[in-house]
Amino acid sequence: MLGNRVLKGVLLVGLGATSYGMLATFVKMAYGEGYTTAEVTSSQFLFGIIGILLINAFQKSRKDNVVIKASKKNITHLMIAGTSTGLTSIFYYLAVRYIPVSIGIVLLMQTVWMGVLLEMFLEKKLPSATKIVAVVIVLIGTALATNLINTEADLDWRGIAWGLMAAASFTTTMFTANRIAVGISSAQRSLYMLLGGGIIVLTFALITQNTPFDASIFLKWGIVLSLFGTIIPPMLLNAGFPLTGIGLGSIVSSLELPVSVLMAFFLLNEEVVFLQWVGIVLIILAIVIMNVKFRKQKS
């Protein structure tokens, strides 16, 4: 039986992952109304920054809560790390322009094997047998989940390329987010990382927006995208992971994958065949294998 503390963490992480899982479907719906990637990302980050600013202001106004202020060094490092957050959103949203959401989320989950590869280079040692097995399962699951074995499947190479770039960028975000300025509040960390990502998004918007910017995106989709993409998930995950631990938290956060596929299935009418569901289950199984500690039984 899970203790109350762990159960609370599971619920928080699960809700955070579920929120992330809904995001790509909302982006695809915004595309359907004629909005551009620049408009979508800009509205999300602007409202996200405003929301996190309000959260930080609330924390400072509480007399019973002592908040450690971020140093200039902390701010610089977090903003640099946050650039990968902006790039992940841009790459992922570009990917779902060309491929179904159900395929895009599978490509984003390639962070499993990319993370193992990055860890190998940083720590200069070969991954364990468990991680190698998990990576093989992820690759098999990906082949099934993207329906690559179906010779009639026609996937736009641009969507695949952007999806893999999103996964690489997200891998960088995961490695830096939990190693930089961990002594300050999660709200401050989220704010400065968002500001770093916001600079990237603004630069992208200025370069790529060839038509007049449609400000109606802010009211129609900006609040929804910021809530489900930049405000609710980080708060819930930051609050939940300390209660669950990295292993259990990573397993629960894999809910993002089936939720994203189900949202696309029900709201976008994307077709998802049985073999794709098998592939999704295999990817989740690989995440479980990587994060469950197998203990040798004493004879």
State the Cα–Cα distance between residues 249 and 8, nearest whole angstrom.
11
Residue 32 has pLDDT above 70, yes or no: yes
The pLDDT value recorded for residue 295 is: 45
Q: What b/e sequence results for 44-64 when a residue is b if at least 16 CB atoms lie within 10 Å of its CB, and e otherwise? A: bbbbbbebbeebbeeeeeeee
Q: Within 129-222, where are the H helices?
A: 129-145, 157-177, 186-208, 216-217
**Chain segment 173-201, per-residue pLDDT in tens:** 877 766 788 778 878 888 999 999 999 99
Could you give the percent of the chain with pLDDT greater than 70? 92
**What Cα–Cα distance (Å) separates residue 41 from each residue in 87, 107, 218?**
10, 19, 10
Residue range 238-263: mean pLDDT, rounded? 85
**Chain segment 51-101, per-residue pLDDT in tens:** 999 988 887 655 555 667 888 999 999 999 899 999 999 999 999 999 999
- What's 146's DSSP letter? T
Lookup result for tokens 């695809």? 28
Residue 153 has pLDDT above 80, yes or no: no
Residue 298 pLDDT level (bands cut at 50, 70, 90): very low
Question: Residue 137: helix, strand or coil by DSSP?
Answer: helix
State the Cα–Cα distance between residues 280 and 233, nearest whole angstrom.
22
**Chain segment 35-51, per-residue pLDDT in tens:** 999 999 999 999 999 99
- What's 153's DSSP letter? -
**Chain segment 115-133, per-residue pLDDT in tens:** 889 888 888 888 889 899 9
The pLDDT value recorded for residue 176 is: 77
The pLDDT value recorded for residue 184 is: 83
Number of Cβ within 10 Å of residue 273's Cβ equals: 12
The structure's pTM equals 0.89
- Give the amino acid at 280: I
Residue 108 pLDDT level (bands cut at 50, 70, 90): very high
